[in-house]
Structure 1
Amino acid sequence: MAWLSLIIAGLLEVVWAFSMKQSDGLTRVGPTVITLITVIASFALLSYSMKSLPLGTAYTIWTGIGAVGAFAAGIIFLGEPASLSRVVAAVLIVSGLLMMKLVSA
């Protein structure tokens, strides 16, 4: 259950990062409310997962999901560039996440 909570927390990190971008500096009410709700839920699930997962593993996986997810959301929804170097960097992050999961099993 801790791993599922951690994955959901990471996905919520993507949502709050994206909605924060859409909030225009927290000046638009709708995206700001989504940001606040999802950041609280993300932190709560991260905290829950840390009850049984090591700090380094949980935090690394959480930030990695958020980083790669925000990168993908930027490309898909905001038209940000998907240069080869950025894609390679994202692949390296995912590789690190997989390695972290494998050594934590």
Structure 2
Amino acid sequence: MNERASDPARLTDDQFELIAKALADPTRVAVLEAIGREDECPCQSLRSAFPVSKATISHHIKELVRAGLVEARREGQYLHCQLRRGVLKGYTSELLRRVAGEKGG
């Protein structure tokens, strides 16, 4: 992964709210954690790691992509997911700024 991919992203208010909503679901956070443990996570491994249906995992991935936290790449019939670390860093910086008055950088 290149360094630019992990630079904090600047978020709009709408992006911040989308991410906050995406992270409000404990299963979705666990899916995000699993994706973040690998450079690129095949969705099949997520389906076997969580005791939920294929449709439920697909929904969680869709919401994480919609929030901008995950990038999904299709290779044939397989989907591979990658954590967008820069977006996550941007969210945590903005959260600290809003809650604790810290300056982002």
TM-score by length of 2: 0.35
Structure having the higher helix fraction is 1
TM-score by length of 1: 0.35
Structure having the higher strand fraction is 2
